[in-house]
Amino acid sequence: MILILLGPPGAGKGSQAKLIVDEFKVNHISTGDIFRKNIKEETDLGLKVKDIIAKGELVSDELTNELVFETLSKENTPAGFMLDGYPRNINQAKALDKWLEENNKEVTEVILVDADVNVLIERISGRRVCKNCGATYHVKNLPPKVEGICDVCGNELVQRPDDNEETARDRIEVYNEQTSPLIDYYEKSGRLARFDGNEDIDVVYEHVRNSLK
Ligand code: ADP
Ligand code: AMP
């Protein structure tokens, strides 16, 4: 199974990804997570992308495609993989299609999760992530048992530098301009399934899992 998670920042892609991985055992490949890991470890790539990500802009297609194809060439999870946050524009989508064709692979389903802009802003502003294991919480919708502490590993919860309201609005604008044309792109090839991300996480997931069975 090869899945693509598409949708604006804060729509709940990462939250759905976790549930999909638990049930369908695919490998979750999030370009945002890979970039953040590189920033944390201060690698060359991390140093190159740190300021771009903090501003809410897109990393160059060249760097992103190279990173994704290198990751995919090592990928051998029996159940398949799921891309989250990639592709982010038509150029990346065409590059991915070319890579898949060359490697005799096909996208099974593109999962579009969308939500209203006020919902996106509220979710992004309230998102907290564990510094250590990356588990995601929300101050109101999904609070940890102890404020500021990860339920899973007991480490500190932090706010992503790009999760403030101003940058969130910029990221949504980038999505609308550069990423949303992918909806048409994938719809034309009959691979798109749409889900209403305004609903509760479990309700959204119920629809997603039914579409994958
Ligand atoms: P994305 O990966 O699309 O940026 P996340 O899955 O990280 O989004 O979700 C953003 C924030 O909103 C997180 O704090 C998460 O806990 C919360 N969240 C995600 N989906 C829902 C939902 N359906 N209802 C309420 N809160 C949600
Ligand atoms: P995300 O975790 O998906 O919200 O991504 C966080 C940030 O990483 C984005 O705002 C971009 O700066 C960068 N990023 C993630 N994926 C891509 C991509 N496919 N192309 C370009 N930039 C990306």
The model carries a pTM of: 0.97
Residue among 58, 113, 164 to mutate when testing ligand 2 (max atoms within 8 A of CB): 58
Q: What is the pLDDT of residues 116-132, one digit of tens each?
A: 999 999 999 999 999 99
**In three state form, how does the secondary structure of 105-166 look?**
CCCCEEEEEECCHHHHHHHHHHEEEECCCCCEEECCCECCCCCCECCCCCCEEECCCCCCHH
**CA contacts within 13 A on the Cβ side of 81:** 19
Nearest C-alpha to atom 4 of ligand 1 is from which residue? 10
Domain boundaries defined on the chain: 2-26+77-115+173-212
3-state secondary structure of 60: coil
12-25 pLDDT, tens digit each: 999 999 999 999 99
pLDDT at residue 48, rounded to an integer: 97
Instruction: Give the pLDDT confidence of 141-169 residue by residue, as tens digits.
Output: 999 999 999 999 999 999 999 999 999 99
Instruction: Give the pLDDT score at 163.
Output: 97
Give me 169's structure tokens.
């609005």
Question: How confident is the model at residue 31, as a pLDDT?
Answer: 98
Q: List, for residues 26-69, the tens digit of each pLDDT value.
A: 999 999 999 999 999 999 999 999 999 999 999 999 999 999 99
Question: What digits encode the pLDDT tens for the residues 159-201?
Answer: 999 999 999 999 999 999 999 999 999 999 899 999 999 999 9
Question: Whole-angstrom Cα distance, residue 177 to residue 86?
Answer: 15
What's the 118 CA to ligand 1 centre distance in angstroms?
A: 13
| Ligand 1 pocket, mutate which of 34, 127, 129, 206 (most atoms under 8 A from CB) | 127
Kindly state if the Cβ of 139 falls inside 6 Å of ligand 2: no
Point out the residues that are catalytic.
13, 88, 127, 160, 171
> Ligand 1 centre from 189 Cα, in Å?
28
33 CA to centre of ligand 1 in angstroms = 15
Domain 2-26+77-115+173-212 falls under CATH 3.40.50.300: yes
Q: What pLDDT was estimated at residue 69?
A: 98
Of 74, 109, 94, residue with least CA distance to 4: 109
- From the CA of 31, which ligand is nearest? 2
CA of 173 to the centre of ligand 2 (A): 13
